[in-house]
Amino acid sequence: MPAERVTLATIAEAAGVSVPTVSRVLNGDGNVAKATRLRIEALLDEHGYRPRTVRASSAGMVHVIYPRIDTAWQLEHIRGMEAVMQEAGVGLVVSALNHGTAGRNDLLRRAQAGQATGAILAAASGDTPLAPVLDQLNVPVITLDPGAKAPARLPSIGAANWQGARAATEHLLALGHRRVAMITGSKGGLLCSRARLDGYRAALEDAGVPEDPSLIRHGEFEFEAGITAAKQLIDHPNPPTAIFACSDLIALGVYEAARQRGVSIPADLSVVGFDDLPAARWASPALTTVRQPLEEMGRLAARTVLTMAGRRSLPSPRMELSTRLIVRSSTAPPPRPRRG
């Protein structure tokens, strides 16, 4: 026997009051006798009352959409976004595309239902299946740290990748290194990877150190890719004395390769990473790395979406937060050259 739908009328009848009175209790209207209120509250609970509809305004939700939920820095983003959303009384809905269209359809449905206040496409590659349908949404959408060329009309928030990579390379050059290798995150596409490679090159050029293409390795943003690339570099006939890795994860792969090859960090080999994940602090020795203000990027993304949702104008459609070199214990002057 599937019970009748429980509406305000059900409760009103059970309580022997009118529908408006029940409505007042639900809405926290003070003008209800305490005894009445208590009785109605008990009945609402007992009948398991659930409103049929919800005011769209109180349903404020911002969706953050990742390709996958799989990397540590996402938690930093989320912490920043959550803090801002909580202050604004808006919920943060986390979802993943997972190669499918389910996430997209879900977002679309919710947006049409007035449920989404806005959306943040994070770490989105250019071919995100979301792009073609964005225009249908009547809610603000921005990109956060877009991996590839994002739809140009979307506001975006990123980090100063070029500047950070340059600072990292300059740090190594200042220590006296002349054979500085780089391991990138991906050969082609990714914007951040390109910018970091260019920053590395700029620093070399400024220092008058000729670029050696054999010291540039292209991997993925993965631990294993770091191991592979670092082994190749260590086995190089004229090996580098320092490696700038395009991410902390790759840098940790370099650590492992060095351990397996009996190479000591930083005595034999200096290593710099990129991101400043918590894991960078936990490495032995602690990793010198370029800090991306991931939490702050999340906060800014959240604020930006809320600003747009309030139909206020943005200071700029493209915001880039600065990066900062954090010197820890994985970098040192190069070893004295062995006698030939």
Q: Which residue number, 24 or 77, has a Cβ lying nearer to DNA?
A: 24
Which of DNA, its own copies, none is residue 106 near (CB under 5 to 8 Å by kind)? its own copies
Least CB distance to its own copies at residue 178 (A)? 26
In the list 1, 3, 33, 152, the residue contacting DNA (rule: CB under 7 A) is 33
Q: Which residue number, 71 or 232, has a Cβ lying nearer to its own copies?
A: 71
Interaction of residue 243 with its own copies, rule CB under 8 A: no
In the list 33, 34, 55, 188, the residue contacting its own copies (rule: CB under 8 A) is 55
Interaction of residue 108 with DNA, rule CB under 7 A: no
Q: Site residues for its own copies, window 119-178 (CB under 8 A)? A: 136, 138
Q: How many C-beta atoms surround the C-beta of residue 164 within 10 A?
A: 25
Eight-state DSSP code of residue 133: G
d(CA 314, CA 318): 9
d(CA 74, CA 64): 10
In the list 2, 27, 89, 340, the residue contacting DNA (rule: CB under 7 A) is 27
Q: Which of the ranges 10-18, 42-50, 179-187, 231-239 carries the binding residues for its own copies, by CB under 8 A? A: 42-50
Least CB distance to DNA at residue 27 (A)? 5
Q: What is the CA radius of gyration of the chain?
A: 27
Q: How many C-beta atoms surround the C-beta of residue 295 within 10 A?
A: 18
Interaction of residue 13 with DNA, rule CB under 7 A: no
Nearest partner of 334 among 208, 174, 187, judged by Cα: 174
What single-letter amino acid sits at 150?
A
Interaction of residue 186 with DNA, rule CB under 7 A: no
Q: How many C-beta atoms surround the C-beta of residue 89 within 10 A?
A: 8
In the list 5, 20, 38, 86, the residue contacting its own copies (rule: CB under 8 A) is 86
Least CB distance to DNA at residue 40 (A)? 9
- What the block records as the tokens of 332 is 């040192």
- What the block records as the tokens of 141 is 């959408």
In 69-114, DSSP assigns E strands to 91-96
Q: Which residue number, 53 or 316, has a Cβ lying nearer to DNA?
A: 53
Least CB distance to its own copies at residue 74 (A)? 6
What single-letter amino acid sits at 186?
S
End-to-end CA distance of the chain: 91
Number of residues that bind DNA (CB under 7 A): 25
Which of DNA, its own copies, none is residue 189 near (CB under 5 to 8 Å by kind)? none
Query: Who contacts 10 (Cβ-Cβ below 8 Å, separation ≥6)?
Result: 4, 47, 49
Q: Is 62 exposed, middle or buried (0-12, 13-18, 19+ CB in 10 A)?
A: buried
What single-letter amino acid sits at 192?
C
Interaction of residue 52 with DNA, rule CB under 7 A: yes
Q: Which residue number, 135 or 235, has a Cβ lying nearer to its own copies?
A: 135
d(CA 11, CA 18): 9
d(CA 251, CA 280): 9
- What the block records as the tokens of 239 is 């090996």
Residues that bind DNA (CB under 7 A): 5, 7-9, 16-21, 23-24, 26-27, 30-37, 51-53
Residues that bind its own copies (CB under 8 A): 26, 44-45, 48-56, 58-59, 61, 63, 69-72, 74-75, 78-79, 82-83, 86-87, 89, 91-96, 98, 102-103, 106, 109-110, 112-115, 136, 138, 223, 249, 252-253, 255-256, 258-259, 278-279, 281-282, 284-286
